[in-house]
Amino acid sequence: MTASAIGALALILVVAPLLPALAGRTVAFLTGRRGAPLLQPYRDLAKLLGKGAVYSRTTTGVFRLAPAVVLGAALVAAGLLPLDGRRGLAGFGGDMIAFAGLLALGRLLLALAGLDTGSSFEGMGASRELGFATFSEPALFLVLGALALATGESSLGGMLGAPLARAWARAPATLAMVGVSLGIVLLAEASRGPVDDPATHLELTMIHEVTILDHGGPDLGILLYGSALKFALFAALLAGTFLPRAAWPAPLAVAALLPALALVAILVGVIESAMARLRLVQVPHLLTGAAALAALGVVLRVR
Amino acid sequence: MSLILAAVAVWLLGAVGWALARRRRDLAAAIGAGAAVVGAALGACAAGSALSGREAQVLSAAWPVPFAGLGLRLDALAAAFLLPLCLIGALCAILAVPTRHHADGGGAGAGFAAFNALLASMATVVLAANLVLLLAAWEVMTFASYALVVTDHDSRAVREAGYQYLIFSQLAAGALLLLFLVLAAATGTWELAAVPVAHARTAVAGLFVLMVIGFGTKAAVVPFHVWLPAAHAAAPAHVSALMSGVMITMGFYGLARFLPLLGPPSPGVAFTLIGLGAAGALGAVLLALLQRDVKRVLAYSTVENAGLITLAMGAGLLGQWAGAPELAVLGWSAALFHIWSHSLAKSLLFGGVGAFAHEARSRDLEGWGGLLARWPVVGGLTVVGALAIAAVPGLSGFVGEWLIFRALFAGALVLHGVARAAMVVGIAVLAMTAAVTLAGQARLIGIGLLGTPRREPPAGAFRPPARATTAPLAALAGSCLLIAWFPAPLVAALAGALATLVPGGAPTLVVDAVRPLGSLALVLTGVVALVAVLRGALAGRGVPRATETWGCGYAGAPGRTQYSASSLAEPVRQAFAPLLRTRVERLGPVGYWPAEASWRSRTLDRTVTGVYRPAFGGVSALLQRLRDLQEPRVTTYLRYVVLALLVVLALLFLPIVVRP
């Protein structure tokens, strides 16, 4: 547990809500609009946390428990990630499996909370979220497998730490493919375009936004912050893959996180405004493509 | 040793004791359940002491059966299977008590007789040091469980399921008989050898196939799992819980005990297990996602977990073959750990879901909904079981799955070539399996227990649950949590068993590896609790308003307009359509004013439709031909007798005539 790890964790917890805003602002800029101010998410969060709660009579304790689990799991996952490009707050051998498991826990509770409302809107969102995970999960694990083979490590701290810089010299093709694949997984996991449309919760596009349709007040605030944090975690994972910072001085490695996250958010915004949202049946194809790319990266390391 | 003998004796007494109180159902149930619990307590003590003991406890006595001897041996491996047996056996016996009111005639007592006989026979299977005794106990186990499966034998579906179970069990028993004969011939003794005997390469392959068929059928290894979904759907809840939680582990006990007898592991054996396990797990979990019968959902989930355990065993063997100690130890301990965690979670889930199914008088998931609100305690415990099966962090299932992943990652790093590629493929398949499992459990809980009822439960259902229902479930849920929080002590306790499976392996490696997982689960629980408290403080400032679920202005939408279980699974089903070959019947809607429309899908197990049905059909057609030999006339049979006599005579005298 080092100062740099704590600093990086604090940084990402503070700036997480900025990322969706930055992506949205990029989309607005590219489509000739002005867009919401960057600090709007913080105002929204403050407003939501200050509101009273409204619950459907259909819902049970699962509905109330879900926001806590979603955010709690994301917070613990943040602790596992080597955000400072070194060891992370609490890394251990095999922590990448736990990282994926924690995000899966959040997804499960989100789906259960959606189904708890008894509404078909939420059911549809839950169904799609669970269905797409069937393809994004193998892609994520193939990415992790390729990273493990490229670096010879079996923990996030190793895969994204010092051995990564050497791996870039030895296996650049594998790591490049891993990066692209991870980027696609990010779009799906963070519910961004062209997989999901964060701006609407209309029937045709609804995935994440509609699953949380019945949540309001503090619950919605917690869920929105949780999903922003998930976006930030994947962005950090992506940034960490392309930018091995283990050899950098600690303050610089932590500070570099900020522009790296911003760059990922802007890229997501560019992709969202350059591409139409995919038809839902095509999303598995996209994710299978990501998995295939990572698998190719693995094949290059099989000998 | 005396403890475990006492346990078996108590169980056997319980099996016959019900006859004394046949007329008094409560007394019969008390005797039956009491014997099961007392026996289990004794057995658990014996297993607990043997788990840590280095020396095996041995007992042998003469038994006036040809070739047999009453050889019993309680070593660490046996204890590792005996302990969950006792624990879950006792809890399932308590779960059975409230069901005595709806068992027919003398059913309650007879049910407990079979239940106790099943416990005693499973314990004997684990303890047997003699092949004949093992086979005898194995058969008693099969027949006792058959009797339990057909408890509700008024229903035709139940009888058919039982018959199917019996056929598969007997085919498997045939394979075991053959296996034991060959082993006995090779060693020259009917004692269960502790050390491998050298076999020819082809003999090893043959023996391996016999083991996979013989033990794999009981363990529900794909493609020998077909009996399981039908039998589990037919059996009462506490029986499914015991069969799924404990009886299938007997198959894995057999594999763990006999695979080392094949000599040094070969890559063929390891890859076969890995392939069967991975393909079976993915196939079964997809079928679990598409079942409407809640107990079939759980049954296919059991098949999936059996696949995961098989995969882990294969990984362990691969590690032993390749001389990679880390992979070997991780693989085998993953298998052992997953057996434990799956046993606990699946009995919990079968117990909970079975109780709901009994109250709702229906096992059709599409008619469920909103049941958690009716029975919050049982519902909450069932949710814990579902989360454990879904293998999310914070519960026991995750530790087992994590160990399998960890083994595969370790294998990918140390192995080369095809083996390395196989490990990565295994990782991807396991990840997909995990995601579909998650979806399946979300569907079971989200559609079945949450939301609003799709069909009103019958009047008088869902009275406050009996304590005999909630207490065992609470104990199981508690153990799922405890194992997740403190996995290291359990792995350390399994070290003795691991040492018999991987001689020279270092179990401390795994103990150290899982220690962070315990901290992770505790931290996660703490953080979630913290956020929950914070949320509660924020949300609880005013009086929370209660209202309708938002429905675009429509209030009070009926329960049937909710998302259905089939529609929830549809994205996954469509993506895997070429593999699943679902039959979809679609009607309408037609025209501008559609009157009716329906959509129905049915996904069948392709091992049934593609393999077993044609195979059994072919055999049956062949046997039909033999009917032509039958004729209802005595003279025909006299002719057969004469013919047979002539053949025998010819065989007897031919050598004499031919001899110069």
Q: What percent of chain A has pLDDT over 90?
A: 72
Tell me, what's the pLDDT at B203?
85
**∠ CA A19-B394-B392 to the nearest 5 degrees?**
70
Cβ contact A112–B446 (<8 Å) = yes
- Grouping H, G, I as helix, E, B as strand and the rest as coil, residue B386 is helix
Please name which of A224, A151, A147, A143 lies closest in space to residue A184, comparing C-alpha atoms. A143
Residue B654: which residues within 8 A CB-CB, separation 6 or more? none
Residue of B373, B424, B531 lying closest to A71 (CB–CB) = B531
Which chain B residue has the Cα nearest residue A149? Answer: B413
Q: What is the rounded distance in angstroms from the CA atom of residue A298 to the CA atom of residue B434?
A: 21
pLDDT at A204 exceeding the cut of 70:
no
Q: How many residues does chain B have?
A: 660
pLDDT, mean over chain A: 92
In this prediction, residues B109-131 reach a mean pLDDT of 91
Give yes or no for a contact between B54 and B468, defined as CB atoms under 8 angstroms apart: no
Tell me, what's the pLDDT at B31?
85
- Grouping H, G, I as helix, E, B as strand and the rest as coil, residue B602 is strand
Interface residue of B527, B552, B567, B579 to substitute, partner A, most A CBs within 10 Å: B527
pLDDT at B104 exceeding the cut of 70:
no
Distance to chain A for B350, nearest Cα, Å? 20
Q: Which amino acid belongs to residue B505?
A: G
Residue B85: which residues within 8 A CB-CB, separation 6 or more? B40, B43, B47, B119, B122, B123, B126, B246, B249
The tokens describing B75, both together, are: 């070593």
pLDDT at A202 exceeding the cut of 80:
no
**Which pLDDT band holds residue A186 (cuts at 50, 70, 90)?**
very high
- Give how far Cα B425 sits from Cα of B418, B430, B573, B575, B651, Å: 10, 8, 22, 19, 57
Chain A residues whose beta carbon lies within 8 Å of the beta carbon of residue B434: 104, 137
Interface residue of B450, B564, B567, B576 to substitute, partner A, most A CBs within 10 Å: B450
Please name which of B186, B197, B258, B266 lies closest in space to residue B501, comparing C-alpha atoms. B258
Per-residue buried b or exposed e for B553-572, using 16+ beta carbons within 10 Å of the residue's own CB: eeeebebeebbbbbbbbbbb
Tell me, what's the pLDDT at B441?
97
What pLDDT digit, counting tens, does each position of B506-553 carry? Answer: 888 999 999 999 999 999 999 999 999 999 888 877 777 888 888 777
Interface residue of A80, A134, A151 to substitute, partner B, most B CBs within 10 Å: A134
Q: What is the pTM of this model?
A: 0.94
The tokens describing A126, both together, are: 């839950």
Q: What is the rounded distance in angstroms from the CA atom of residue B639 to the CA atom of residue A237?
A: 84
Q: Which amino acid belongs to residue B197?
A: V
Question: Quick check: A196 contacting B, CB < 8 Å?
Answer: no
What pLDDT digit, counting tens, does each position of A35-60 carry? Answer: 889 999 999 999 999 888 888 888 99
Residue B133: which residues within 8 A CB-CB, separation 6 or more? B63, B68, B69, B70, B71, B124
Q: Which amino acid belongs to residue A102?
A: L
Cβ contact B424–A302 (<8 Å) = yes
Question: Quick check: B196 contacting A, CB < 8 Å?
Answer: no
Tell me, what's the pLDDT at B548?
83
Which chain A residue has the Cα nearest residue B408? Answer: A145
Residue A204, burial from CB neighbour count under 10 angstroms (0-12, 13-18, 19+): exposed
Q: What is the rounded distance in angstroms from the CA atom of residue B157 to the CA atom of residue B167?
A: 15
The tokens describing A36, both together, are: 């919401």
Residue B107: which residues within 8 A CB-CB, separation 6 or more? B151
Please name which of B2, B132, B4 lies closest in space to residue B79, comparing C-alpha atoms. B4
Give yes or no for a contact between B48 and B79, defined as CB atoms under 8 angstroms apart: yes
Asked which of B187-196, B378-387, B413-422 is least confident by mean pLDDT, the reply is B187-196
Which chain B residue has the Cα nearest residue A223? Answer: B535
Sort residue B558 into left (φ over 0), alpha (ψ -120 to 50) or beta: beta
Distance to chain A for B439, nearest Cα, Å? 5
Tell me, what's the pLDDT at A242?
93
The residue with tokens 């399996």 is: B433
CA dihedral A286, A290, A296, A297 (to 10 degrees): 160
pLDDT, mean over chain B: 90
| Complex confidence, ipTM | 0.96
Which chain A residue has the Cα nearest residue B523? Answer: A76
**Which pLDDT band holds residue B22 (cuts at 50, 70, 90)?**
low
**Which pLDDT band holds residue A91 (cuts at 50, 70, 90)?**
confident
- Structure letter (DSSP) for residue B610: I
Residue B578, burial from CB neighbour count under 10 angstroms (0-12, 13-18, 19+): exposed
The tokens describing B45, both together, are: 């003590």
Which chain B residue has the Cα nearest residue A226? Answer: B531
Please name which of B300, B333, B344, B302 lies closest in space to residue B403, comparing C-alpha atoms. B333
Please name which of A115, A114, A110 lies closest in space to residue A213, comparing C-alpha atoms. A114
**3 state SS for B243-264:** HHHHHHHHHHHHHHHHHHHHCC
Question: Quick check: A158 contacting B, CB < 8 Å?
Answer: no
Tell me, what's the pLDDT at A88?
77
Cβ contact B434–A137 (<8 Å) = yes
Chain A residues whose beta carbon lies within 8 Å of the beta carbon of residue B447: 115
Q: Phi and psi (nearest 5°) for B59?
A: -140, 135
- Give how far Cα A90 sits from Cα of A93, A233, B330, Å: 10, 15, 22
Tell me, what's the pLDDT at B561?
86
Cβ contact B563–A127 (<8 Å) = yes
In this prediction, residues A19-37 reach a mean pLDDT of 93
B-contacting residues in A 48-87 (Cβ below 8 Å): 49, 52-62, 64-65, 67-69, 71-73, 75-76, 79
What pLDDT digit, counting tens, does each position of A234-254 carry? Answer: 999 999 999 999 888 989 999
Task: For residue B191, list its beta bridge partners.
Answer: B130
Q: What is the rounded distance in angstroms from the CA atom of residue B290 to the CA atom of residue B580?
A: 10
Residue of A54, A61, A76 lying closest to B523 (CB–CB) = A76
In this prediction, residues A106-124 reach a mean pLDDT of 93
Question: Quick check: B555 contacting A, CB < 8 Å?
Answer: no
- Half-sphere exposure for B174 (CA within 13 Å, toward CB): 5
Question: Quick check: B431 contacting A, CB < 8 Å?
Answer: yes
Question: Quick check: B409 contacting A, CB < 8 Å?
Answer: yes
Q: Which amino acid belongs to residue B559?
A: G
Q: What is the rounded distance in angstroms from the CA atom of residue B286 to the CA atom of residue B280?
A: 10
Q: What is the rounded distance in angstroms from the CA atom of residue A101 to the CA atom of residue B402?
A: 9
**3 state SS for B134-155:** HHHHHHHHHHHHHHHHHHHCCC
In this prediction, residues B129-142 reach a mean pLDDT of 94
Q: What is the rounded distance in angstroms from the CA atom of residue B399 to the CA atom of residue B421?
A: 24
Cβ contact A298–B376 (<8 Å) = no
What pLDDT digit, counting tens, does each position of B573-614 carry? Answer: 999 998 998 888 888 788 888 888 888 888 899 888 888 999
Question: Quick check: A202 contacting B, CB < 8 Å?
Answer: no
pLDDT at B310 exceeding the cut of 50:
yes
**Which pLDDT band holds residue B660 (cuts at 50, 70, 90)?**
low
Residue of A54, A61, A291 lying closest to B428 (CB–CB) = A291
Cβ contact B574–A281 (<8 Å) = yes
Give yes or no for a contact between A294 and A177, defined as CB atoms under 8 angstroms apart: yes
CA B589 to chain centre: 42
Cβ contact B446–A75 (<8 Å) = no
Chain B residues whose beta carbon lies within 8 Å of the beta carbon of residue A225: none
Q: Domain segments of chain B: what residues? A: 2-457+464-526, 577-587+597-628, 630-660
Which H or E run includes B208?
helix B201-219
Which chain A residue has the Cα nearest residue B561? Answer: A120
Distance to chain B for A36, nearest Cα, Å? 27
Residue of A73, A120, A141 lying closest to B431 (CB–CB) = A141
The tokens describing B282, both together, are: 């993915």
Question: Quick check: A232 contacting B, CB < 8 Å?
Answer: no
The tokens describing B83, both together, are: 């302990």
pLDDT at B400 exceeding the cut of 80:
yes
**Which pLDDT band holds residue B335 (cuts at 50, 70, 90)?**
very high
Question: Quick check: A154 contacting B, CB < 8 Å?
Answer: yes
Tell me, what's the pLDDT at B313?
96
Q: Which residue has better confidence, A276 or A186? A: A186
- Assess whether the previous peptide bond of B589 is cis (omega < 30° from 0): yes
Which H or E run includes B587?
strand B583-587
Q: What is the rounded distance in angstroms from the CA atom of residue A213 to the CA atom of residue B189?
A: 70
pLDDT at A90 exceeding the cut of 80:
yes
Tell me, what's the pLDDT at B658?
66
Distance to chain A for B372, nearest Cα, Å? 8
Question: Quick check: B572 contacting A, CB < 8 Å?
Answer: yes
Distance to chain B for A34, nearest Cα, Å? 30
Cβ contact A115–B547 (<8 Å) = no
Tell me, what's the pLDDT at B191?
87
**3 state SS for chain A:** CCHHHHHHHHHHHHHCCHHHHHHHHHHHHHCCCCCCCCCHHHHHHHHHHHCCCEEECCCCHHHHHHHHHHHHHHHHHHHHCCCCCCCCCCCCCCHHHHHHHHHHHHHHHHHHHHHHCCCHHHHHHHHHHHHHHHHHHHHHHHHHHHHHHHHCCCCHHHHCCHHHHHHHHHCHHHHHHHHHHHHHHHHHHCCCCCCCCCCCCCCCCCCHHHHCCCCCHHHHHHHHHHHHHHHHHHHHHHHHHHCCCCCCCHHHHHHCHHHHHHHHHHHHHHHHHHCCCCCHHHHHHHHHHHHHHHHHHHHHCCC
Which chain B residue has the Cα nearest residue A135? Answer: B432
Q: Which amino acid belongs to residue B498?
A: L
The tokens describing B136, both together, are: 């005898």
In this prediction, residues B199-227 reach a mean pLDDT of 91
Cβ contact A65–B380 (<8 Å) = no
Residue B253: which residues within 8 A CB-CB, separation 6 or more? B77, B78, B81, B125, B126
pLDDT at B105 exceeding the cut of 50:
no
Tell me, what's the pLDDT at B458?
86
What pLDDT digit, counting tens, does each position of B268-298 carry? Answer: 999 999 999 999 999 999 999 999 999 999 9
What pLDDT digit, counting tens, does each position of B462-507 carry? Answer: 888 888 899 999 999 999 999 999 999 999 999 999 988 998 878 8
Chain B residues whose beta carbon lies within 8 Å of the beta carbon of residue A223: none
**Which pLDDT band holds residue B320 (cuts at 50, 70, 90)?**
very high
Question: Quick check: A281 contacting B, CB < 8 Å?
Answer: yes
- Give how far Cα B507 sits from Cα of A97, B83, B164, B459, B503, Å: 21, 19, 41, 55, 10
Tell me, what's the pLDDT at B106?
45
Residue of A56, A71, A154 lying closest to B413 (CB–CB) = A154
Tell me, what's the pLDDT at A1?
54
Q: How many residues does chain A have?
A: 303
CA B340 to chain centre: 11
